[in-house]
Amino acid sequence: MSARGVPPDRLGRLKAPAGLDLGAVTPAEIAVSILAEIVQHYGGDKGAEPMPPAPAPTEALDPVCGMTVEVATARYRSEAGGRTTYFCCQRCQETFEQDPGRYAGRA
């Protein structure tokens, strides 16, 4: 490169191979490792205020019937797998609890 007139100080700034060492093999994984390095380099603004946590949802979707339920006043709920599911009525809650897997991904 110096034969092409690239100054040595600029050559010293080059890093190869590009990307974080994530064990990437496929082209998609390599692209992710390169993007991760870019985020680490440019997104790591140490002086920035940390982002506040996202506000807790005020509404939830009943996975059985699809109705919107107010979380704060929901009378029927089910705890499973560290997650709370809210229901509009007792019947929906009972239906859900008979076969929770059937409704996975709906809430």
Q: How many domains does the chain have?
A: 2
Residues 37 and 8 in one domain: yes
Residues 32 and 65 in one domain: no
Q: What does the alpha-carbon distance between residue 31 and residue 8 come to, in Å, rounded to a whole number?
A: 28
Whether 50 is covered by a domain: the verdict is: no
pLDDT for 56 beyond 70:
yes
For residue 66, give its domain range: 59-103
Whether 78 is covered by a domain: the verdict is: yes
The residue among 82, 84, 81 whose CA lies nearest residue 71 is 84
Give the pLDDT mean for 11-39.
81
pLDDT of residue 44: 62
Whether 53 is covered by a domain: the verdict is: no
Whether 66 is covered by a domain: the verdict is: yes
Can you point out the beta strands (E) in 1-107? 59-61, 68-70, 76-80, 83-87
Residues 64 and 95 in one domain: yes
Whether 64 is covered by a domain: the verdict is: yes
pLDDT for 93 beyond 70:
yes
Whether 47 is covered by a domain: the verdict is: no
Whether 54 is covered by a domain: the verdict is: no
What are the C-alpha distances in Å from 96 to residues 38, 69, 79, 81, 99?
A: 44, 15, 11, 14, 6
Whether 48 is covered by a domain: the verdict is: no
Q: What does the alpha-carbon distance between residue 92 and residue 103 come to, in Å, rounded to a whole number?
A: 11
CB neighbours of 74 closer than 8 A, spacing ≥ 6? 60, 86, 87
What is the pLDDT confidence band of residue 80, given thresholds at 50, 70 and 90?
confident
